[in-house]
Amino acid sequence: MTGTVLTFYSYKGGVGRSFTLANVAVLLARWGYRVLTVDWDLEAPGLHHYFAPVLAEDPAGGVVDLAHEFLAGAKTPPAHAVQVNVGDGRLALLAAGRVDSGQLDSSYSRRMQAINWEDLYQRGFADFLERCRAEWTDEYDFVLIDSRTGISDIASICTAQLPDRLVVVFTANGQNLKDVVDVARRADDARDRLPYDRPRHVVLPVLSRLDNRVEYERAEKWQHRCAEVVAPLFRNWLVKTVSTDLMLRHLTVPYVSYWSFGEQLPVLEEKVPSADQISFALETVAAVIAQQFDRTDVLADNRDVYVAAARSHRKEFELDLLVSSPRPSMRAATDLIDELRHLGLHVDRSLSADPEFLDQTDEPAKHLCLVVDGQLTRWQTTEAERFLRHAFGAEGDQRQLFCVLTRETDREDLPGFLRNLRHLELEPGMRPVSVARQLHDLIMATPVSETEPDHEALRTAAAALRDLPPDMPYAERFALVTQAVRGMEAALDDGDMDLLLNRSADLVLLSRAHGNGNRVATPPNLRDRVSTLLNRIDRRIKTSTD
């Protein structure tokens, strides 16, 4: 999957932009993402200072060298990125230029000032940058660019041509607030003049260096004021049911005097931060980026769950499946586990009825199977809800909840979140050979060919859109439907069939909403959006089968 380019921008200096970028990069890398940081603040570069203690070697070149190498006739970007050692994660730095003993070499200023960016673009530097961008996004999940402040040729490169998304870092004062929203408009206007196909910017506002420990009342007033000013930046990605004030609070990095000296990486020291530590806020910002600005309703509801989902990216599990059952069906569960093991799966019994279960922080299995005998037990309900809170992630390789019923179980008596699942049934008095094989196939299924999964994803998406009811039990439901449809549009644009399937599944669940009383008709703009997307998918299906 192609990586995402994000530019960290600030209209004024001294707001903690480089600090935020460096720490977010470390977090993403430690969570299993491949991350490249690029220091494009050429007049005041500093990322090499933040990473100095953990750099594998001094950079022998950087961004300035890319420009000079292009002028010398280079057709492809030379490799100047160096490894940053942050444990098991993969993090690299493309510095501003050559670094010698922790400092930029003596020729840096002269070589940087000799660059005429307008002349570079006239010579075709934009296409050279596109090749750089293609290599970066092919090799890394996230490319984080530290941009020059203010309005300049360099800042335009970082905000208009290169990024998929912007992270605008600002502080609570009039100078910053005056231009924090306008930067996105200027970047979109500049992007429209470029000969490259880029969508409108999605912008993440980060309020930085807010001191709410001493002057709490003044900090609250500024927090509200900042939320009002940056509200337009949330319109094209924040779930409608989540207030901008609440989201900006999650995206606020507090001022902590201890970390204000020098260039530091608190996330390397505060491994499990408490809510009053700066790394707690940095984790939230990193999680929003890791989740591609998605599912912010989960963040609003439970921040720790949201961050945990981002942190568990590409997590290795000891087991394929845990089987949870009440005591009356213990024998059936044991037989099911034996059959699954015989088929080659790593399976064990859940200890959900053990009082110590609630204190466990690790998750040993990727998937969970509930054996329901008559009704779901209290322990199983707790276990299932806990599993579902952690079951979504940034990639299509999703964890699954399975439901196996005995003959004594009435589906209509199941909780809502289980009624919508596909149910497997145990035959009384018989070993669960068939159920075990079905579970095995669901867990271990692999594509038969290159084209069949794409066709299946497209057909599934089309069916989900056609089955969307003309009305809903309450108006607030349409915000979630719109989010699911928007996710399907983005997945189709990116050719991400796994993500298209996941968003289609979300839409199917939303379509099954039940309620009492009068129902609300689907808004016309949402009907039009669904119709347009359905036409696109139908054309794609027709084209691929002709």
DSSP string, 268-317: GT-SS--TTSHHHHHHHHHHHHHTTT--HHHHHH-HHHHHHHHHTTT---
pLDDT at 6 over 70: yes
Do domains 4-312 and 319-444 share one topology? The answer is yes
What's the CA gap between 28 and 265, in Å, rounded? 13
pLDDT score at 453: 54
pLDDT score at 352: 60
The two tokens of residue 484 are: 């699911």
Short-list 78, 84, 95, 81, CA closest to 39: 95
Which SS3 state, helix, strand or coil, does residue 12 take? coil
The predicted-structure confidence for 142-193, as pLDDT tens digits, reads as follows 999 999 776 555 557 887 888 999 999 999 988 888 778 888 788 878 777 7
- 194-203, 234-243, 419-428: which is most confident: 234-243
What's the CA gap between 80 and 62, in Å, rounded? 6
The predicted-structure confidence for 262-291, as pLDDT tens digits, reads as follows 899 999 999 889 888 999 999 999 999 999
Which SS3 state, helix, strand or coil, does residue 118 take? helix
Looking at the domain covering 4-312, what would its CATH class be?
Answer: alpha beta
Distant-in-sequence, close-in-space partners of 361: CB < 8 Å, separation ≥ 6: none
Cα dihedral 513, 514, 519, 522, rounded to 10, equals: 10
Mean pLDDT, rounded, of the chain: 86
Alpha-carbon distances of 226 from 307, 385, 522, rounded to whole Å: 24, 36, 33
Short-list 293, 75, 16, CA closest to 164: 293
pLDDT score at 544: 59
What's the CA gap between 225 and 228, in Å, rounded? 5
DSSP state of 159: I
Instruction: Provide the b/e sequence for 222-239 (b: ≥16 CB within 10 Å).
Output: bbeebbebbbebbeebbb
The predicted-structure confidence for 489-509, as pLDDT tens digits, reads as follows 988 887 788 888 888 888 888
Short-list 310, 326, 9, CA closest to 150: 9
What's the CA gap between 393 and 395, in Å, rounded? 6
The predicted-structure confidence for 207-260, as pLDDT tens digits, reads as follows 999 988 777 888 999 999 999 999 999 998 999 999 999 999 999 999 998 998
Short-list 227, 246, 233, 225, CA closest to 174: 225
Out of 30-39, 85-94, 360-369, pick the least confident. 360-369
pLDDT at 540 over 80: no
pLDDT score at 507: 87
Looking at the domain covering 319-444, what would its CATH class be?
Answer: alpha beta
The two tokens of residue 144 are: 């984080």
CB neighbour class for 298 (10 Å; exposed up to 12, middle 13-18, buried from 19): middle
For the entire predicted model, the pTM comes to: 0.64
CB neighbour class for 481 (10 Å; exposed up to 12, middle 13-18, buried from 19): buried
The predicted-structure confidence for 347-398, as pLDDT tens digits, reads as follows 999 876 555 554 555 678 889 999 999 888 888 888 888 787 666 544 435 6
* Residue 432 pLDDT class (50, 70, 90 cuts): confident
pLDDT score at 201: 83
Alpha-carbon distances of 337 from 150, 344, 409, rounded to whole Å: 62, 11, 20
Out of 362-371, 429-438, 441-450, pick the least confident. 441-450
Q: Please state the domain extents for the chain.
A: 4-312, 319-444, 451-544
User: Which residues face 423 on adjacent strands?
Assistant: 403
pLDDT score at 450: 40
